[in-house]
Every structure is written in C-alpha cells, then in structure tokens.
Amino acid sequence: MAQALVTGATSGIGRAIAIALHNTGHQVMALGRNAHALADLSALGLQTRQIDLTDPSGLVDLADLAPDILVNNAGMMPPLGNFCDADPADIDHAINTNLRAVLSLTRAIAPGMRTRAHGHIFFTGSTAGHAPFANLAVYCATKAAIGGFAQALRLDMAPHGVRVTEIVAGRVETGLYNALLPAEARAAMYADNAAVQPEDVAAMLLAVLALPQSVDVARFDILPTYQGVATGTSKKEA
C-alpha cells in the first residue's frame, strides 16, 4: 500500500485529493491547520496531523514518514489589489506559505525518494503562474516560482526514478477567495459550470499516478471548458 502525504488537506483541492487517494487504497497522511476538518478526515479513515508548514520545526518528523507520494497543495491568496498598496506582512505571508514552506517540505521528503529510487511529487500550481493577472502580482510570483521549481526538480529527480508533476489549475471552486470576495461575487464566479470541481483535479492526479513508471507528466492544465485562455476570458464573457 503506497503512502501519501497531502498538505492543505482540510478543504478544496487538497481534501478532494486526500480522500481520492484514500478511496483507492493509499495510506494517506492529511496535513492542515483546521482541527475540526482534520477530525472529519480522521473519521473517514485517513491519518491526520495538525501543522503549520511555515514553522520549520514542524517539518522535522515528516521526513520519517517516507511517503511514496507527496502532494504539495497548501497555499493561500493574499488580499487583491495593486502591488504598490500591498502590506509587506501580506507579501511575506504569501511567500512563506506558497513558496518557502513548499521548498522546505520538499527538501525534507525528496532525498528519501531519491534514495529509494521511487516516488511522485505533485505541486498545485495555477494558471496565475503562467499568465499575468491584475491585482495578483505576489500570488502570480509565488505560483510562477512553483512552476519553475517543479520543472527543474523533475530534471533533478528523473535519473533516480522519481516523477514530478505540476498541476496547473484554472478556475476551481474552492474556498480560496472566501476571505477576499463577498458571497455574491464568489457565486457569480462559479455559476453555470464556470469552474472545475476539486474532485476533477483529484481524478486527474489519480490518472497521472496510474500511468506506467516510464511516463512522467511534467505538468497538466485543468480548466473549465468555458475558460478559453489562461487569463480567464471565457466564451460566455467574450
């Protein structure tokens, strides 16, 4: 039974991936900060751990888990707005959560995979890492860094039999905007099947995992059908 470590597993894409892996027979360690959400996952049979990934001291024991699959999913979106008006604390928080914590956790887990000559590392990226969005400069920067890191890491790990995949997600119906946009605006974003569901992303991840070991999917883009281009212009909006 393969072991999987999933970060940001208490909601959205991370929760869907953790449950999908569990339902297909993987032993899943779900990481997150929300104790109640972790308790719900535990009731479903998943192993859980409450952790703040931005605290390096919390990563020490994770390497001992020796997972076969690492899903670097945890992330956040800073307040929307012009970069010139951004609070430096919000910038630091975004960089620490979306980039520094990801690098630190991967550094803790990847050497073991290299030694065992087996493993698969996933990163939840974004179309915002591959195309510009106004009022999202810091978020775009962190996701662009994740994209570059994932592709370079794949080259580092490929000779050792470890696969690396970047998930480039378009508009997905998650709680990412809960603290940033009013309910009415969020409802409009997701109306009329204008968003991918977290379970769709999880299904794609399982499909990638099921490919032969000789196949490495460097990245996959998953977008709503109506999202014609990465920057978000849809057929309905055109």
Q: Which residues are catalytic?
A: 139
Cα gap 194→213, rounded to integer Å = 34
Nearest to 122 by CA among 5, 1, 200, 36: 5
Q: Is 120 within 8 Å of 161 (Cβ atoms)?
A: no
Taking the alpha carbons of 168, 174, 175, 180 in that order, is the dihedral positive or negative?
positive
Reading the block at residue 22, the tokens are 């569990």
Nearest to 1 by CA among 22, 28, 20, 26: 26
10 Å CB burial of residue 45 (0-12, 13-18, 19+) is: exposed
Q: Is 205 within 8 Å of 167 (Cβ atoms)?
A: yes
b/e per residue 3-18 (b: at least 16 CB within 10 A): bbbbbbbbbbbbbbbb
CA distances from 110 to 7, 68, 176 (A): 15, 10, 27
How many other CB atoms are found less than 10 A from the CB of residue 163?
A: 23
